[in-house]
Structure 1
Amino acid sequence: MTRPLVFALALAPSAISAQEAPFRLALPIDCTPGEDCFIQNYVDADPGPEAADFTCGPLSYDDHKGTDIRVATIAQQREGVDVLAAAPGVVLGLRDEMPDILQGWDGAPELNGRDCGNGVSIAHDGGWETQYCHMARGSVAVKPGDRVETGARLGSVGLSGQSQFPHLHLSVRKDGVEIDPFDPDDTATCGDTTPADTLWDTPPAYLPGGLLDAGFAPGVPDWFDIQAGEADAEVTSQSPLVIWGYAFGARAGDTLRLTVTGPQGSVIDDVVPLDKTQAQLFRANGRRAPEEGWAEGDYVGRVALMRDGEMLGEREVPLSIGD
């Protein structure tokens, strides 16, 4: 659970009336949802010990109180992805000194209630407040008391705090009460991915899962390298040829199709069943080189995440072997 910064209030969740909320949000991150960023987790809409997003889907976890907008890999995060003010307001406070290390990695600090990591909290008119978490150390570009407009740069996406992947966690509060910006009135129905009333100027489309990355390697990559965006490695004519795919939002019963074609035709065509629901995962499949080696030339790999016959996401990656 991402906790508020020490200067921010956090009370028990409750619904509000849309008539009391003319407040609107712009996208708080400089990216294109569904292309180079993805919503990994929504506010937990289940009041009990289980978790569900506003559609009754599994893109949340118990007591999650914000919206997690992720970039695919740490390599993308290190290139610099701006965090933006979602609405005009005044900076209440910030934190900017925590290291960018995912929890569970060597050197990750004790959080001691600082789950948000580096972040910024902004007060808006009408009792509204937004909080931006897991920002990169040293990136915060505002100070308390600053007036910011919608779209103003606040800093950069990072890995700080209670973070398992590179992302921005956005919390929205009204008079101290946590609000789901996709369902502020708590009236969404199961399966409804486009509720009529949201706080967004332009609501990001609900994606129930998809592909984050894909590539080739001469062996099954390490999970650390997949997350880092460093799993691609040279494939030679004599090495094994492995194609891998990195997905989010997979559910039990989904499949990941991995195919490779080359100068000699089909090289790999495998369907990998996924037997459990997972927030993020990768799968790989490959072949040893034939005695004569892989034919020189251009190869194309495709990875597709499928659910009930529908493609949720696809990645195509090129490979050249030989001169």
Structure 2
Amino acid sequence: MIRGFLSLILITFAAPLAAKDFLIDLPIDCTLGENCYIQQYTDQDPTEGAQDFTCGALTYDGHKGTDFALTTLADMQAGVDVLAAAAGVVMATRDQVPDVAFGTAGAPDVSRIECGNGLAINHGDGWETQYCHMKLGSLIVEKGQRVTKGAVLGEVGLSGRTQFPHVHLSVRRNGQIVDPFAPDSLSTCGTQPPASMWQTDIPYSAGGIVSVGLSTAVPSYDDVKAGLAGRDVLPIDAPALVVWGFAYGGQQGDTMDLSINGPKGEIVNQSIVLPRIQAQFFRAVGKPLKADGWPAGPYTGEARLTRNGAILSVRRVTIRVEG
């Protein structure tokens, strides 16, 4: 049932304010850089362009919050809690939108309910937070309920206008959008913001490797995103050994380096240059079986994302090949 749910339509930013006036915690029960990551930041550019609080490109025009994404659909299905960023009173809720990726077969019409399932919390002194794309049927709070900082509100989902499981957190004061990473400035190019609204410091990441895996063939992108593509054990007669990497925040010219090393050394090592900007992307390389079988033992796959000669992110996975 919809109870006066607020839509995300404001694109103006609050006037400069002291970040210490209102501090918030992570709105999701996960460990950034391990089983979740920030896919998009608040758009700080008031024009038709887009830039995040570092003047980087990890946002899009008009994006009004911070997207905390899960690494796989399997994690969403297992259940990851959405948490109250600060204490307050629940203003409105919605919990009726199916968890179907926007633009795919069977996806509902989410016109005017792009936020999907979620809620808004009033924290007093003009401060509000809003939580979007939550899992259908997971909300455990209701309008008028008082919640403490860190209280469980429900679970991360795939409802509304989204194509990946995440919770979108918007922060507002007096109805205007505030970027919690840089609440006092609309432009911090080349500088470190003097203060943020986060209770605990959150390092900025301009992109990275979400997951890496080894398989006997190039997996489907759907299986990669679902967390079903990787294998822990492969047979010695596998027709091929393939390493794949799933990443986010890709910019034109970025390089993904993929490699496999086995008991007898390097099997494959290849660099792939990204031809265009891609919010999420996956690449794979491999080598077919040319002998009687692969040597038994441990095999390590690595995916590395590089930008302008600097390494942004590296992930590795080790499996076994057995007879």
Give a deviation string over 1:257-304, Cα, whole Å, max 9, x none: 111111221101111122222111010000110132212222111111
Structure 2 equivalent of residue 13 of structure 1: 12
What is the count of residue pairs matched by the alignment?
318
Confirm or deny that 1:280 pairs with 2:290.
no
Counterpart CA distance in 1 for 2:14 and 2:174 is 12
Do the aligned residues in 2 keep the contact of 1:121 with 1:131 (CA within 8 Å)? yes
Kindly state the Cα deviation for residue 20 of structure 1 after the two structures are TM-superposed.
8.4
Structure 2 equivalent of residue 203 of structure 1: 201
Kindly state the Cα deviation for residue 187 of structure 1 after the two structures are TM-superposed.
4.3
Q: Which runs of 5+ in 2 are unaligned?
A: none
Q: Which runs of 5+ in 1 are unaligned?
A: none
What letter matches 1:227 in structure 2? K
What letter matches 2:134 in structure 1? M
Structure 2 equivalent of residue 302 of structure 1: 302
Could you say if the C-alpha distance between residues 45 and 187 of structure 1 is closer, same or farther in structure 2, counting changes exceeding 3 Å?
closer
Equivalences for residues 1-323 of structure 1 within 5 A: 6-7=5-6, 10-19=9-18, 22-192=21-191, 194-233=192-231, 235-238=234-237, 239-323=239-323
What is the TM-score when the length of structure 2 is the normalising length? 0.94
Do the aligned residues in 1 keep the contact of 2:295 with 2:321 (CA within 8 Å)? yes
Aligned-residue RMSD, C-alpha: 1.7
Larger deviation, residues 267-276 vs 124-133: 267-276
Do the aligned residues in 2 keep the contact of 1:98 with 1:160 (CA within 8 Å)? yes
Could you say if the C-alpha distance between residues 241 and 176 of structure 1 is closer, same or farther in structure 2, counting changes exceeding 3 Å?
same
Could you say if the C-alpha distance between residues 58 and 77 of structure 1 is closer, same or farther in structure 2, counting changes exceeding 3 Å?
same
Larger deviation, residues 157-166 vs 182-191: 182-191
Counterpart CA distance in 2 for 1:246 and 1:20 is 35
What is the TM-score when the length of structure 1 is the normalising length? 0.94
Counterpart CA distance in 1 for 2:321 and 2:185 is 54
Kindly state the Cα deviation for residue 154 of structure 1 after the two structures are TM-superposed.
0.3
Kindly state the Cα deviation for residue 9 of structure 1 after the two structures are TM-superposed.
7.6
Could you say if the C-alpha distance between residues 7 and 46 of structure 1 is closer, same or farther in structure 2, counting changes exceeding 3 Å?
closer
Could you say if the C-alpha distance between residues 277 and 11 of structure 1 is closer, same or farther in structure 2, counting changes exceeding 3 Å?
closer
What letter matches 1:270 in structure 2? Q
Kindly state the Cα deviation for residue 104 of structure 1 after the two structures are TM-superposed.
1.9
Give a deviation string over 1:72-105, Cα, whole Å, max 9, x none: 1111222211100001100011111111111122
What letter matches 1:195 in structure 2? P
What letter matches 1:160 in structure 2? S
Classify the secondary structure of the residue corresponding to 1:39: strand
**Structure 1 residue runs of 4 or more that deviate by more than 4 Å after TM superposition:** none
Amino-acid identity (%): 46
Counterpart CA distance in 2 for 1:109 and 1:249 is 27
Could you say if the C-alpha distance between residues 12 and 57 of structure 1 is closer, same or farther in structure 2, counting changes exceeding 3 Å?
closer
Do the aligned residues in 2 keep the contact of 1:95 with 1:118 (CA within 8 Å)? yes
What letter matches 1:208 in structure 2? A
What letter matches 1:243 in structure 2? V
Kindly state the Cα deviation for residue 17 of structure 1 after the two structures are TM-superposed.
2.7
Counterpart CA distance in 2 for 1:14 and 1:97 is 30
Do the aligned residues in 2 keep the contact of 1:99 with 1:160 (CA within 8 Å)? yes
What letter matches 2:196 in structure 1? T
